Amino acid sequence: MSSPRFAFFQGKIVPIEQAKVSVMTHALNYGTAVFGGMRGYWNEEKGELFLFRPIDHFVRLKQSAEFLMMDIPHTPEQLRAILVDLLRHEGYRQDTYIRPLVYKSHEGIGVRLHNLEHDLTIFAIPFGSYLEHEEGLKLGTSTWRRVDDTAIPVRGKISGAYVNSALIKTEVMLNGHDEAVVLNQDGHVSEASAANLFMVRGGKVITPPVHSNILEGIVRRSLFTLITEQMGYEVIEREIDRSELYVADEVFLCGTGVQVAAVAYVDHRPISGGKMGEFVRALRELFFNVVRGKVPQYAHWLYPVYASETISAD
Ligand code: PMP
């Protein structure tokens, strides 16, 4: 993974070496930060880097920040303009991962949310696949349960809550799997360590509802549209039992990092014969064409970094 050269930090674009915080930073001590994860897809033919749904990502970032009583003064459009400026400084001509972070920059001791300063930073790195085996993942059910909305808001991407994801991911990887099935406090399937989960069963496409303690994923929402409009299936949101996954026709994960990834095994049991199923194969092809700007119908989900008008971020 190569390092970025710049970051947006304390209100301006600076060399990455200058984007540093103190050990006394509240967010570092208490996990009081929220983040986003967004992708830019390089289209070689068009010589363009397309941001995937940047406004939706910045709307969610602002909501996440509000959970921790941090107001971002910029509109989503202004945040997008800052990001475009940053990416033009980097000049990336390849797939890119973008990480905005809003954090309690206050330096001092005391666990609370109120009356603390905060700041916004953004950096972006060249990035390909997040998971090595996205064409046939091995999932294992974690013994850790997904953080519950009664403890930490689950529809926000709250840094401290990702200790839960880290425990889950490490447990299943050390046990020889690629990714996790995470159960919620009720024992139903919620999602993976940092991706949403779908299954195809009896000709139906099913995914856990937002009240199953999932993150309200932006790729998840995009797949609802693609599956309904392009593949002619309805998506059913309902609770899923662990054992249903064992007898599912297909299981797949989605998210900014994993994109659309096929699941070949759950708890060592083969799904769709231990290889990628036909539904997810078709969905992946469609998804990658959409994000690379090859399907005009969904061009409104994309924002060109190099061809866009320069809008003031002020
Ligand atoms: N769940 C969790 C816990 C995540 O961290 C992510 C990645 N942001 C997702 C699901 C997928 O969300 P999105 O499609 O918005 O990337």
DSSP state of 61: H
Model's pTM, two decimal places? 0.96
**Residues paired with residue 122 on neighbouring β-strands, in sequence order:** 8, 100
Residues 144-173, mean pLDDT to the nearest whole number: 98
Question: Phi first, then psi: what are they for 231, rounded to 5°?
Answer: -110, -5
Tokens linked to 223: 């797949």
User: Does the pLDDT value for residue 312 go beyond 90?
Assistant: no
CATH T-level topology, domain 6-126? D-amino Acid Aminotransferase; Chain A, domain 1 (3.30.470)
Given the CA of residue 192, which atom of ligand 1 is nearest to it? 1
pLDDT of residue 134: 79
Cα 34 versus chain centre, distance: 12
Counting ligand 1 atoms within 8 A of each CB, the residue from 210, 256, 259, 301 with the most, and so the one to mutate, is 256
| Minimum CA distance residue for ligand 1 atom 4 | 194
Q: Tell me how crowded residue 285 is: count the other CB atoms within 10 A of its CB.
A: 11
Distance 304 CA to ligand 1 centre (A): 23
Q: Is the CB of 220 under 6 A from ligand 1?
A: yes
Q: What is the mean pLDDT of the chain?
A: 96
β-bridge mates for residue 270, sequence order: 265
Closest CA to 239 of 194, 183, 278, 292: 183
Question: Is residue 309's pLDDT more than 90?
Answer: no
Atom index in ligand 1 nearest the CA of residue 222 equals: 14
The pLDDT value recorded for residue 1 is 61
| Token pair in block for residue 97 | 């991962």
Q: Percentage of the chain with pLDDT > 90?
A: 94
Ligand 1 centroid distance, CA of 53 (Å): 14
Ramachandran area for residue 75 (φ above 0: left; ψ -120 to 50: alpha; else beta): beta
Distance in angstroms (rounded) separating the CA atoms of residues 156 and 148:
12
| Rounded distance between C-alpha atoms, residue 82 and residue 124, angstroms | 12
Q: What residue spans in the chain does CATH classification 3.30.470.10 cover? A: 6-126
Query: Which of 230, 231, 207 is CA-nearest to residue 279?
Result: 231
pLDDT at 135: 87
Question: Which of 182, 215, 291 maximizes ligand 1 atoms within 8 Å of its Cβ, making it the mutation to test the pocket?
Answer: 215
Q: Domain 137-276: what homologous superfamily?
A: D-amino Acid Aminotransferase, subunit A, domain 2 (3.20.10.10)
82-137 pLDDT tens trace: 999 999 999 999 999 999 999 999 999 999 999 999 999 999 999 877 677 878 99
Look at residues 97, 98, 121, 117 and name the one whose alpha carbon lies nearest to residue 107: 117
> Quick check: 119 and 60 in contact, CB under 8 A?
no
Q: Is the model's pLDDT at 314 over the cut of 70? A: no
Spell out the residues 6+ positions from residue 150 whose beta carbon is closer than 8 angstroms to its own.
Answer: none
Query: What span, in angstroms and rounded, lies between the C-alpha atoms of 58 and 85?
Result: 15
Using the mean position of ligand 1's atoms as its centre, give its distance from the Cα of residue 258 in Å: 9
State how far the Cα of 253 lies from the Cα of 249, in Å rounded to an integer.
Answer: 14
* Tokens 């983040």 found at: 35
- Residue 260 has a pLDDT of 97
pLDDT tens per residue, range 249-289:
999 999 999 999 999 999 999 999 999 999 999 999 999 99
Give the contacts of 173 (CB within 8 A, at least 6 positions apart): none
**pLDDT above 60 (res 143):** yes
Domain(s) labelled CATH 3.20.10.10 in the chain stretch across 137-276
- pLDDT category at 311 given cuts 50, 70, 90 is low
Residue 180, strand partner residues:
140
Say if residue 8's pLDDT is above 70.
yes
